[in-house]
């Protein structure tokens, strides 16, 4: 007989002022929460939940406006994300948490960690600087950022002409077409959500400076994909160097979604980082 037993799993809907926030809880152990990016939802983390659930209580959710959470009348304001996360953590009675954020999820997780540093045992920022101003975080004064942006825009245009999702690296799309198709399919589950309006909101709220983090002592790991054309990968190490408890890792042959494109390497980095925080 097969000795495998699947980790416990529950699903729920949390009442919020905008409607219902959808979430899933899998596994057992210390709480490990995941916040998806603009091209994702709770399903984006399937390769992480399967890996971490034997040792952690994994919590995934769909940000407000992203199905199967309810739509938001008038559109989504990313400034509301941290309050949703706070409500979910309180609802699940989690005394402390470990947070993993991808891209847009960095707005959610970083702001929560800033407001609740004592409850956050570890923070992982994947392909994101959250509410930090990107160009302002460039130690070259914006020169390197501007050069990266010019190159990234050309690569984005080339990828669009070839039907490659910008948040999925071109190398991964070629190597595993099925993975690229899955990523695109998850992205399309958002339906009529106005992502361009949301993207503008993300830019509008990314105003923090690295100087504001001088006393931020939450252990923080920034992970970047070396071929990212959405987030400047060099900023991961630059920002980590300014944080009291910051460190950075690069997955050289990944694009904007290293957790999705290179899950084994991503999971190993997160595993090792979390182990150092116990």
Question: Where are the domains positioned within the chain?
Answer: 9-276
If you average pLDDT over residues 26-48, what whole number do you get?
99
User: What's the mean per-residue pLDDT of the chain?
Assistant: 97
Pick the CATH number of 9-276 from 3.40.50.1820, 2.40.50.180, 3.20.20.70, 3.10.450.50: 3.40.50.1820
In tens, the pLDDT along 174-187 reads 999 999 999 999 99
What's the pLDDT at 210?
A: 97
Instruction: Please give the torsion angle defined by the CA atoms of residues 144, 149, 150 and 154, in that order, rounded to the nearest 10 degrees.
Output: 140
Reported as a pLDDT band with limits 50, 70 and 90, residue 17 is very high
Distance CA(103)–CA(38), nearest Å, equals 7
Reported as a pLDDT band with limits 50, 70 and 90, residue 250 is very high
pLDDT of 169 higher than 90? no
Helix and strand totals (H; E) in the chain: 10, 8
Instruction: Please give the torsion angle defined by the CA atoms of residues 11, 16, 21 and 24, in that order, rounded to the nearest 10 degrees.
Output: -30
Reported as a pLDDT band with limits 50, 70 and 90, residue 2 is confident
What is the model's pTM? Answer: 0.97
Distance CA(268)–CA(236), nearest Å, equals 18
């Amino acid at each position: 007989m097969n000795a495998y037993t699947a980790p416990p799993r529950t699903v729920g809907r949390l009442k919020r002022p905008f409607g219902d926030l959808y979430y899933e809880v899998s596994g057992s152990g210390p709480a490990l929460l995941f916040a998806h990016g603009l091209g994702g939802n709770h399903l984006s983390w399937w390769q992480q939940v399967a890996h971490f659930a034997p040792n952690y209580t994994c919590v995934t959710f769909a940000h407000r406006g992203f199905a199967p959470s309810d739509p938001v009348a008038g559109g989504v304001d990313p400034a509301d994300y941290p309050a949703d996360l706070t409500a979910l953590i309180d609802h699940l009675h989690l005394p402390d948490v470990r947070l993993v954020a991808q891209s847009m999820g960095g707005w959610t997780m970083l702001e929560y960690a800033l407001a609740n540093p004592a409850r956050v045992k570890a923070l992982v920022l994947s392909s994101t600087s959250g509410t930090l101003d990107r160009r302002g975080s460039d130690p070259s004064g914006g020169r390197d950022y501007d050069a990266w942006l010019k190159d990234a825009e050309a690569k984005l245009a080339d990828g669009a002409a070839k039907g490659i999702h910008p948040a999925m690296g071109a190398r991964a799309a070629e190597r595993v077409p099925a993975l690229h198709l899955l990523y695109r399919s998850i992205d399309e589950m958002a339906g009529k959500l106005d992502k361009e309006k949301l993207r503008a909101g993300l830019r509008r709220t990314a105003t923090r400076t690295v100087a504001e983090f001088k006393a931020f002592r939450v252990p923080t790991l920034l992970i970047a994909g070396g071929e990212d054309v959405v987030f400047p990968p060099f900023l991961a190490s630059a920002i980590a160097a300014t944080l009291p408890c910051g460190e950075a890792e690069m997955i050289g042959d990944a694009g904007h979604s290293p957790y999705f494109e290179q899950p084994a390497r991503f999971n190993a980095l997160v595993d090792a980082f979390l182990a150092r925080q116990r």
